[in-house]
Amino acid sequence: MRRKDFNRTRPEGRVVPRWTVTLAFATLSVGLVACAANPGTGRSRRGMSEEDEIAQGRQAAAEVEQSMGFAGSAELNAYVARIGQRLAKHSSRSHLEYEFHVVDMKEPNAFALPGGYIYVSRGLLALMNNEDELATVLGHEIGHVAARHSVQRQAKSRPWIPLQILAGIGGAAASVVSPALGSAVAGAGQLPAALAMASYSRKQEEEADRLGQQYAAVEGWDPAALASSMDALTREQQLEGGGDPYRRSFFDSHPTTPDRARDARAYAETLSVGPTDRIAIDRSAFVGRLDGLVVGESARAGVFLDRRFLHPELEFAMSFPAGWEHANAPTAVVARPEDESALLALQVAGEGDDPMAVATQFDSEIPLLERSGLEEINQLPAVTGVARIVDRRQEIYLFLAWIAKDGLVYQVLGAAPASRWSSHRPRFEATARSFHQLLEAELREVHENHLRLVEAGRGETLSKIAARSGSQWSPAKMAVANDITVQSKLSGGESIKISKRERYQTAP
Ligand SMILES: [Zn+2]
């Protein structure tokens, strides 16, 4: 099978998969730091020139693209960009080259990077019910860029995924093995630096709300729609937000107030709205554009089916030890037993078809105690080895396997303290030796949920529609996504958004 174009082309033209060892998220400091402007001088308080701001934004944008990736069809992205560009030309910084993208994030979110890079998540799009909502949210983000809002770093950063792999043996072993590996495994639990736990102030939110509403109004979109977007976000947060401290959605970086939606409605009343020129003329045209959008977890970057990890785009599968907890993070797939006495990480260690070259490179950094010759793991060229490191007086053994497939060399790393090495080594080895080319039958097991539309019948309720359509969303979630209530009786003919479980389709 040939390689799919799932891989992202980086600015320098190298093709790198979504998770790779080369990204050191933890050490990147660029981000939403746009620096407040000093009016009149055009320079920020920190003396950052616009040129520097754009350069910083570009770097962060490359990181967002690589670590999160984009979502939605080319048509949908072009649609979002068309709306964004119409708004941006009314901002006080209309000379910036704005970019608009749909980002592959299941939570509802939108964010802006310095220099004019603006993103809306697929999770937020799925909640929207008309173009005016989209326009006001994009306008809000443009407002942050226009006003050069700086973000305030929160004192405490929370991990992105619910697996504290940094703790104990994992982080220690990984950081000693090589700086790149260390930061990759460390980064496995982190948000991309571009989203590094930063938030605007309430005052900045208010300013961005107003600016966004102004831009939307001039272009003929209803500025009051910002309020309905906020309502949708609030309803979603109430429904989904509880119990998961790792969730990152809009209000984490854009703090809200109880009166925000009311204020937005009141402010909208004061604006004069230009002639209507919507691209999607009504609700049904708008939600029609969302048809097919992935909702919930995306399978594009691989999925766990129990202890098996299947990657439908890179076309491989590997089985982790039974009973271990695992996570699929942007830079690595990681797993560990409940007692945290070991760590397994699967990463991309290099490009090419020669696992020996990668093993030799590793050996030059950490001497290998044992190294196999060139062998095969399920018909794929491979090299295995063992290394020992001492970290904080603790002796840690590493099992390594490098496996070449389709132009990438994968690294399976198992780490355990000396006292647990003999019991864990067979598990590490078995894990590495389970790595294989994805089978057709396995590909057929990979599913994800897509936003689909069903036409409501006269007098139907959401529960009825959920039952007949097989919606994976509960009626409560459908109510939020469709901006109605669970009790609503539909008049018939409405396009109702549902979430449908469908077999994963690889990129054409
Ligand atoms: Zn904001």
DSSP string, 190-232: S--GGG-SEE--HHHHHHHHHHHHHHHHHTT--TTHHHHHHHH
The structure's pTM equals 0.79
Query: From ligand 1's centre to the CA of 299, what distance in Å?
Result: 29
Q: What is the pLDDT of residue 508?
A: 66
Exposure of 424 in the CB half-sphere (CA atoms within 13 A): 26
Three-state secondary structure call for residue 55: helix
Query: From ligand 1's centre to the CA of 94, what distance in Å?
Result: 19
Q: What is the pLDDT of residue 420?
A: 92
Query: From ligand 1's centre to the CA of 141, what distance in Å?
Result: 6
Q: What's the CA gap between 116 and 141, in Å, rounded?
A: 9
| Chosen CATH of 447-503 out of 1.10.730, 1.10.1740, 3.10.290, 1.10.260 | 3.10.290
- Phi first, then psi, for residue 208 (nearest 5°) are -65, -40
Three-state secondary structure call for residue 182: helix
Query: From ligand 1's centre to the CA of 260, what distance in Å?
Result: 12
Query: From ligand 1's centre to the CA of 144, what distance in Å?
Result: 7
Query: From ligand 1's centre to the CA of 151, what distance in Å?
Result: 10
The tokens of 483 are what? 């901006």
Query: From ligand 1's centre to the CA of 89, what distance in Å?
Result: 19
Q: What is the pLDDT of residue 151?
A: 64
Query: From ligand 1's centre to the CA of 203, what distance in Å?
Result: 10
Q: How many CB atoms lie within 10 A of CB 69?
A: 18
Query: From ligand 1's centre to the CA of 366, what distance in Å?
Result: 46
Query: From ligand 1's centre to the CA of 267, what distance in Å?
Result: 16
Collect all residues with Cβ–Cβ distance below 8 Å to 384 and sequence separation of at least 6: 371, 372, 375, 399, 400, 401, 402, 429, 432
Q: What is the pLDDT of residue 243?
A: 60
Query: From ligand 1's centre to the CA of 205, what distance in Å?
Result: 5
Query: From ligand 1's centre to the CA of 228, what distance in Å?
Result: 15
Instruction: For Cα atoms 337, 343, 346, give the angle at the middle one, nearest 5 degrees.
Output: 115
Q: What is the pLDDT of residue 257?
A: 83
Q: What is the pLDDT of residue 293?
A: 97
For residue 363, the 8-state DSSP code is H
Report residues near ion ligand 1: CB below 5 Å.
Answer: 205, 208, 254
Query: From ligand 1's centre to the CA of 335, what distance in Å?
Result: 35
| Chosen CATH of 303-443 out of 3.40.1160.10, 3.40.1000.10, 3.30.70.100, 3.40.50.300 | 3.40.1000.10
> Given the structure tokens 């809306």, which residue do they identify?
120
Q: What is the pLDDT of residue 163?
A: 31
Q: What is the pLDDT of residue 14?
A: 31
Query: From ligand 1's centre to the CA of 197, what distance in Å?
Result: 14
Query: From ligand 1's centre to the CA of 400, what distance in Å?
Result: 45
Q: What's the CA gap between 174 and 398, in Å, rounded?
A: 10
Query: From ligand 1's centre to the CA of 368, what distance in Å?
Result: 50
Query: From ligand 1's centre to the CA of 306, what distance in Å?
Result: 38
Interior/surface letters 181-204, b for 16+ CB within 10 angstroms, e for the rest = bbbbbbbbbbbbbbbbbbbbeeeb
Q: What's the CA gap between 219 and 277, in Å, rounded?
A: 7
Q: What's the CA gap between 333 and 98, in Å, rounded?
A: 34
Q: What is the pLDDT of residue 351?
A: 86
Query: From ligand 1's centre to the CA of 120, what distance in Å?
Result: 12
For the chain, the structural domain boundaries read 29-157+196-278, 303-443, 447-503
Q: Which residues of the chain have pLDDT under 70?
A: 1-47, 150-198, 242-246, 330-331, 391-392, 508
Query: From ligand 1's centre to the CA of 254, what distance in Å?
Result: 4
Q: What is the pLDDT of residue 45?
A: 42
Three-state secondary structure call for residue 59: helix
Query: From ligand 1's centre to the CA of 498, what distance in Å?
Result: 28
The tokens of 217 are what? 């109004």
Q: Say what the alpha-carbon torsion angle 188, 193, 196, 198 is, to the nearest 10 degrees.
A: -170
Query: From ligand 1's centre to the CA of 145, what distance in Å?
Result: 10
Query: From ligand 1's centre to the CA of 474, what distance in Å?
Result: 29
CB 151 within 8 A of CB 37: no
Query: From ligand 1's centre to the CA of 76, what distance in Å?
Result: 23
